[in-house]
């Protein structure tokens, strides 16, 4: 992939990711719980 | 060569997704009523505002974290709370490094700004004035509370002195949660 197309792809992925998190109900909270669980598990290890 | 470039591009996208997700979650929390454990929130608006006599803050001995909002920024965060001699304190470590001060920017704002804050403990809000304590025997109590409550370090005169030295040197910043009238 050319670097120009790669940049466009990255931008599209970023926008899509942000949109999904912001617009899908409950997803943000679910992700945060998962992240907290992951951090807690690894912090105690 | 092409394979290496393609691999790097894929790795880049795989790293981009969680980075954007984290940034989005932080952005999404910014105006919430209070912080989550992971991300700062907005103003503390819910909960009764305490208006009684100045409490003895020793009741916070059994409380691990509180919510702290700085009125200069309107943002809030979850934070440890210490108590000594009936007073309450909050601390911020890693303040002697650039990244530490960047990460703990709330402490810089509190020190350089008005210091006016609202804390929320068990749903009850208290208006406070953050006063940075940089020296004095008051720090012995702060140091002991920090060691006893949040570290696994045995509380000895030496460990208290070391912790006090860390505060006096500016590595850790300590703030008394004083009433607004002071």
Which CATH number does the domain housing residue B112 bear?
2.30.110
Instruction: Let me know whether B74 and B24 are in one domain.
Output: no
Q: How many domains does chain B fold into?
A: 2
d(CA B123, CA B49): 9
Q: Answer whether B13 touches A (CB < 8 Å).
A: yes
Instruction: Name chain B contacts of A36, Cβ cutoff 8 Å.
Output: 37-38
Instruction: Let me know whether B143 and B57 are in one domain.
Output: yes
Q: Could you say which of B24, B36, B37 has the minimum Cβ distance to residue A22?
A: B24
For residue B51, give its domain range.
Answer: 31-178
Rounded to an integer, the average pLDDT of B2-11 is 89
Instruction: Let me know whether B18 and B40 are in one domain.
Output: no
Q: Answer whether B8 touches A (CB < 8 Å).
A: no
pLDDT confidence bin for A45, thresholds 50/70/90: very low
For residue B41, the cross-strand partners are B76
At residue A34, the pLDDT reads 86
ipTM: 0.84
* Among candidate residues B101, B115, B104, B29, the one with its CA nearest the CA of residue B69: B115
Instruction: Let me know whether B142 and B97 are in one domain.
Output: yes
Q: Do A18 and B36 touch (CB under 8 A)?
A: no
d(CA B84, CA B144): 8
Instruction: Let me know whether B14 and B36 are in one domain.
Output: no
Question: What are the backbone angles phi and psi of residue B77, rounded to the nearest 5°?
Answer: -150, 160
pTM recorded for the entire structure: 0.84
Instruction: Name chain A contacts of B37, Cβ cutoff 8 Å.
Output: 36
Q: Do A32 and B25 touch (CB under 8 A)?
A: yes
The minimum CA-CA distance between A45 and chain B, rounded to whole Å, is: 16
Is residue B181's pLDDT more than 90?
no
Is residue B179's pLDDT more than 60?
yes
For residue B114, CA distances in Å to B38, B73, B90, B120, B135 come to 26, 10, 16, 19, 20
């Amino acid at each position: 992939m050319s670097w120009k197309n790669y940049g466009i792809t990255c931008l599209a992925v970023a926008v899509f990711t942000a949109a999904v998190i912001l617009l899908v109900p409950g997803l943000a909270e679910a992700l945060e719980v998962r992240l907290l669980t992951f951090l807690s598990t690894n912090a105690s290890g | 060569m092409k394979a290496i470039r393609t691999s790097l591009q894929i790795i880049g996208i795989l790293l981009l997704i969680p980075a954007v997700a984290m940034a989005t979650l932080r952005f999404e929390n910014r105006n919430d009523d209070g912080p989550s454990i992971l991300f700062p929130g907005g103003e503390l608006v819910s909960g009764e505002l305490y208006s009684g006599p100045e409490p003895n803050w020793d009741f916070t001995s059994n409380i691990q974290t509180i919510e702290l909002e700085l009125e200069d920024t309107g943002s809030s965060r979850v934070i440890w709370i210490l108590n000594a001699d009936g007073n309450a304190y909050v601390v911020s470590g890693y303040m002697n490094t650039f990244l530490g001060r960047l990460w703990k920017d709330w402490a810089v704002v509190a020190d350089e700004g008005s210091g006016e804050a609202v804390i929320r403990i068990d749903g009850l809000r208290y208006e406070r004035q953050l006063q940075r304590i940089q020296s004095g025997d008051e720090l012995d109590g702060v140091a002991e509370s920090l060691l006893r409550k949040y570290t696994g370090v045995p509380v000895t005169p030496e460990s208290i002195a070391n912790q006090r030295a860390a505060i006096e040197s500016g590595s850790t910043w300590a703030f008394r949660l004083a009433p607004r009238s002071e």
